[in-house]
Structure 1
């Protein structure tokens, strides 16, 4: 019999409670700091609260979980019967979460494989679900890691932000840093590439940028079977309208998730964020 594999991830995967329970996925939260108050993502702080703080120009930062928090999660999984653990996390380019998990894995009571997925939000979430389904089918840790890495490699994420200023402040803009002088005056479209945020295109108006975002997703989806996630921060109407258009235009659509991003991603992207994750099956 293959070993029983438990999946651990972090709070930036933005999986719903029902999915976490159904697949027995453990979540270690990141922290959002608003002013001098530290709050756990997912339980103590919401994305709308972060949006309000940013709009009022209150200082908002984020921090990784501690190795001790990962150690607690690994011990709990082992106590519940896990014979091994696969721990899947947001891009190490964005956060020290992966490094904290690696430190904890060294002393865990069962073997732990820690994976930097290079993803975030539902790009990470779809990767975690692929791993969980492989584990449930009796896969070995190697099988589970391979399934996660394949899903991550096949998954794309594109997004629009009203301004690059929040990404600049948090140091998350990656190779687009050289574009600040001109790009702050336009509406940027960005993508995840090699675990980093990169500028994809510059568009003059928000409406044209959102239309272009839609076109990119339709083009990339083609006729493949795909899952999509439409994310937003303080832009529910925009997200809902975009989701409905994609539902009509993507012929191989199997699953469509519409959700507000969590507090950590919201803190770095800012209000007005609109993103689409494209994940072929």
Structure 2
């Protein structure tokens, strides 16, 4: 039975890894000054992040025809997923595992479902299994790696693999520190009043993804260093639970990621730590300085 995997660009999957494993990545679009760019391997992330720092770009005065740079993303269309699925089918795929950003953050998974529904009308002998990762970024990557291992073992049907992935998605924990509120505010995700109050109090929120795949605020800290330590505490139930591995995801502040990795090593040097840079769509509304700590508590042994 021929298996293939599909994901979207919010997974932060390394392009080289996707090519090596034959994984089809359906890109989201990022809208910059009314121009639409596909978040593919040719997208210039460094140039994109620099736009966040150009304070003059954030003025929004319609009467003077001055408009702000507001980071926006757009989900892939059902047609794009249809094309992705069909291309794999033409290569011989019969079972497609499609792993995506949670519906609580994006409508991407709905497009995937519609694309799969249309495929089913034409290709009756192909099964497409849609997986909600309940998060974004490296939680998707952990599920992709698990799917690859299950496929390699060749002991499970597509539906069995899908069931395992949906169950284990709940065992991957995500916690994110936002060193500044200005990107949420400038992206329209935070009211001016809340921004001014939070900025005045110099609070840096920590958020998580709950079991429904929705954003949930946990606490706020005053300093980045305090926040980095809080990420570790929250991810491990105050250092009581040890995950199989950690993934630290950053945008522009590699120094924050390295400091967090040091704190983890001080606590338990035996746990694997992966440090990776996030793509634009994930950090568009959080800001490039945000830091995510993903804890892999997947229980299945392969």
Q: TM-score, normalised by structure 2?
A: 0.82
- Provide the rounded CA distance (Å) in 2 between the counterparts of 1:244 and 1:4: 42
Work out whether residues 103 and 109 of structure 2, in 8 Å CA contact, stay in contact via their aligned partners in 1.
Answer: yes
Cα drift, residue 119 of structure 1: 1.4
1:209 and 2:227 are equivalent in the alignment: yes
What is the correspondence of 1:162-181 to structure 2 with a 5 Å cutoff? 162-167=179-184, 170=187
What is the correspondence of 1:20-31 to structure 2 with a 5 Å cutoff? 20-31=18-29
Secondary structure of residue in 2 paired with 1:269: coil
Aligned pair in 2 of structure 1 residues 170, 130: CA closer, same or farther (>3 Å)? Answer: farther
Work out whether residues 223 and 252 of structure 1, in 8 Å CA contact, stay in contact via their aligned partners in 2.
Answer: no
Of residues 228, 231, 235, the one that matches 2:253 is: 235
Cα drift, residue 221 of structure 1: 6.4
**Map of 2:218 onto structure 1:** 200
- Provide the rounded CA distance (Å) in 2 between the counterparts of 1:21 and 1:60: 28
What is the correspondence of 1:40-79 to structure 2 with a 5 Å cutoff? 40-56=38-54, 57=58, 58-79=69-90
Secondary structure of residue in 2 paired with 1:277: strand
Structure with larger Rg: 2
**Map of 1:129 onto structure 2:** 145
**Map of 2:63 onto structure 1:** none
- Provide the rounded CA distance (Å) in 2 between the counterparts of 1:122 and 1:19: 13
Worse overlay, 85-94 or 241-250: 241-250
Of residues 73, 95, 102, the one that matches 2:113 is: 102
- Provide the rounded CA distance (Å) in 1 between the counterparts of 2:172 and 2:194: 26
Worse overlay, 42-51 or 135-144: 42-51
- Provide the rounded CA distance (Å) in 2 between the counterparts of 1:210 and 1:223: 17
- Cα RMSD of the aligned pairs, angstroms, is 2.5
Secondary structure of residue in 2 paired with 1:118: coil
Aligned pair in 2 of structure 1 residues 37, 127: CA closer, same or farther (>3 Å)? Answer: same
Work out whether residues 173 and 235 of structure 2, in 8 Å CA contact, stay in contact via their aligned partners in 1.
Answer: no
Aligned pair in 2 of structure 1 residues 44, 20: CA closer, same or farther (>3 Å)? Answer: closer
Q: TM-score, normalised by structure 1?
A: 0.88
- Provide the rounded CA distance (Å) in 2 between the counterparts of 1:259 and 1:50: 17
Cα drift, residue 9 of structure 1: 0.7
- Provide the rounded CA distance (Å) in 2 between the counterparts of 1:20 and 1:177: 40
